[in-house]
Amino acid sequence: MAEKQKRITISPITRLEGHGKIEIFLNDDGNVDDAFFQVVELRGFEEFCKGRPIEEMPRLTTRLCGVCPWAHHIASTKCLDNVFHVKPTETARKLRELGYAAHMAHSHLIHIYALGAAPDLLIGPTAPPEKRNVVGVLEAAGKLDPSYPGVVINGRAAAQRIQDIIGGKTIHPVTGLPGGLSKGITEEQRKEIEELSKVLVDFAKFTEQLVVDEVVLKNKDYVDLITSDTYMLNTYYMGLVDDNNNVTFYDGTVRVVDPNGKEFVRFGEDNNQYLDHITEHVEPWSYLKFPYLKNVGWKGLVAGEDSGIYRVAPLARLNAADGMATPIAQEQYKKMYEAFGGKPVHNTLAMHWARIIENTYASELCLKLAEDESITDSNVRNIPTEKPTEGVGIVEAPRGTLFHHYVADENGLVKEANLIVATGNNNAAMCMDVKGSAQKLIKNWEVNEGLLNMVEMAFRAYDPCLACATHTLPGQTPLEVNIYDSKKRLYKRLSQNI
Amino acid sequence: MKTLVLGIGNPILSDDGAGIFACRMLKDAISGSCEFEDVDVEEGSVGGLILLDHILGYDSVIIIDAIKTENGKVGDIYKLGMDDFVNTLHTSSPHDVNFATAIEIGKKSMPESMPEQIVIYGIEVDRVDVFSENVTPEVREAIPRVVEMVVRDLKEAKRREQ
């Protein structure tokens, strides 16, 4: 029996080469022509789904990604509402929105404390990578407030518990059905969620004060870093908005604003409208496609009003909206735009700040929905009565706008499935930020050593989903950069943590 | 002694689901047996801090996951303790802290709820990038073996307790 107990024999390798792989192409003078960010794709999901009962999709799609199962579950459930031509009951809608807001808070908190804002800013971007992790954050923050480490764990756990109560299963939600949910919540559960939501709101306020007030705004170096033009792309922005053009995650209208902040287009889930506005460009050097705005056009990896490249995720959502629907988040929203001197903000590193504001909104939304006593109503499902046909479901995933589109055959089995995921939407922008860093640090065949750090900071801001797990520690993003000459011959390779 | 056996992986991504399939087989093997009434068997496609949330409050935790090692032989099974910690496929993620870090945080912030013992069984796998419910033959053959090992561990723990 092959049972081995020696560490020495084991050297795990990176899954699927799922680390960030960057290809940089130089011109004849040894300066940067183009740069691509590579993601190894998990293959065959659409094929896998074909021929399965369409109502299985909300449970199948949670397996697409261990990071954001709720985003796929809810997008898929909303898609099924449309496929079955049924609307969820009012209570079901509120419960979905509540569970989903808890998911957004949970996801954002992990990013803020473990991966992005806090490790880079609280510990310092120039600190050695082994210090820039969540343990370092807890130590540094503990000096500011001794109760802090416990607060972080409790805040996250509160969000997790709300998801568990509503999701119906400990890890992967299973509750979504066309027309509603499989179960409601009791008054006792509502009260528990209300208390948990208060913890979340307090923690959100603490988080904003800690990161924004204490760390960033009091430190000129950080302000300079965030507001510098190092990662600045004036692109279009996309996000879901409600009837008042406030940021929304669960449902609403997709609104796209141009690089000047002016509304360019808005569309909903009906009639597969997304296909009228988004199409995908294919590059031979990338596995991932490049979605862009069809009615502006693909002009290559360039920013500006004439290029159809748009961005999604926290900063894009705030740029695409006019404000936040809850009071504390709205104050924080105004504060951010005042600090930058207006809208839209094009600085990629402001993504971290925007994420903090969204966490506040998600927390306040949880509390608002949990305070509504009618949410315990037992009417959580409208039974579909029509034959399933075709539909689209759109939500804002933590990393940006997520589209699910299914077509059923005459037996109610999946005939076609098309998904545009958040990281895909940001693919072009990530490549451009990589290209921008490369252009600054590669001159006339000279490659500056700081290249990997610069690329990693862009990565952290977008938090791209690299086809699930890779073997990485926070602060130690596995990266490989291949630099090619104009004849496409490998000129230099840089890597870290591989 | 409250014990959790947690299978992690993705059951629709070929060999990636090895840990999940092992847990399902284990559940069938021990369900209804009063000998194992204080053993919970769960599955999930998670890692990092979310794993931490799920192990709090248990005395002992056994994790079953897929692993890929350099020059590894598909179907081999590794038994790993906290001292020889390595990353299996799902104990780490770019969107979360790795499991060792999560354990460190747990020990610092809520030591009273942390399990005394954590063991990971890693099954050496091959294909993890294609959506499919089929696993490669060597992995299929390893699954009952790992289940047998876990049952043996559970019985051993029970014996020590008595």
Count up the domains in chain B and report the number: 1
CA angle in degrees (0–180, nearest 5) for A288-A104-A223: 80
| Of B75, B92, B106, Cβ closest to residue A469 | B92
Chain B contact for A43 (CB, 8 A cutoff): yes
**Tokens for A435?**
């290209």
Contact B78 A152 (CB under 8 A): no
Binding-face residues of A in 219-238 toward B, CB within 8 A: none
CATH number of A87-227+347-383: 1.10.645.10
For chain A, counts of helices (H) and of strands (E): 16, 18
Q: Which residues of B touch A149 (CB under 8 A)?
A: 105, 108-109
Chain B contact for A152 (CB, 8 A cutoff): yes
Q: Give Cα separations from B20 to A219, B116, B155, B161 (angstroms).
A: 48, 23, 21, 28
Q: Which residues of B touch A430 (CB under 8 A)?
A: none
Q: Which residues of A touch B89 (CB under 8 A)?
A: 15, 469
Count of A-B CB contacts under 8 Å:
168
Residue of A nearest to B119 (CA): A5
DSSP designation for A418: E
| Of B12, B73, B92, Cβ closest to residue A472 | B92
Q: What ipTM was predicted for this assembly?
A: 0.71
- Closest Cα partner for B127 from B114, B116, B139, B118? B139
What is residue B36's three-state secondary structure?
helix
Distance CA A393, CA A272 (A): 9
Chain B contact for A11 (CB, 8 A cutoff): yes
Q: Name the residue ranges covered by the structural domains of chain A.
A: 13-40+426-496, 87-227+347-383, 236-346
Contact B101 A474 (CB under 8 A): yes
Binding-face residues of B in 44-73 toward A, CB within 8 A: 44-50, 53-54, 67-70, 73
| Of A16, A60, A107, Cβ closest to residue B129 | A16
Quote the domain boundaries for residue B106: 3-161
Q: Which residues of A touch B67 (CB under 8 A)?
A: 10, 12
Contact A63 B94 (CB under 8 A): no
Give pLDDT tens digits along chain A (498 positions): 333 322 222 333 333 334 567 788 889 999 988 887 766 556 677 888 999 999 999 988 887 766 678 999 999 999 999 999 999 999 999 999 999 999 999 989 887 877 655 666 666 655 655 555 555 666 666 666 666 656 666 788 899 889 989 987 556 788 999 999 999 999 999 999 999 999 999 999 988 988 888 777 887 877 887 888 878 999 999 999 999 999 999 999 999 999 999 999 999 999 999 999 999 998 776 667 889 999 999 999 899 999 999 999 999 999 999 999 999 999 999 999 999 999 999 999 899 899 999 999 999 999 999 999 999 999 999 999 999 999 999 999 998 999 999 999 999 999 999 888 887 888 899 889 888 888 888 888 888 867 777 777 777 788 776 543 322 223 344 567 788 888 888 888 877 655
CATH code at B105? 3.40.50.1450
- Closest Cα partner for A442 from A20, A25, A21? A25
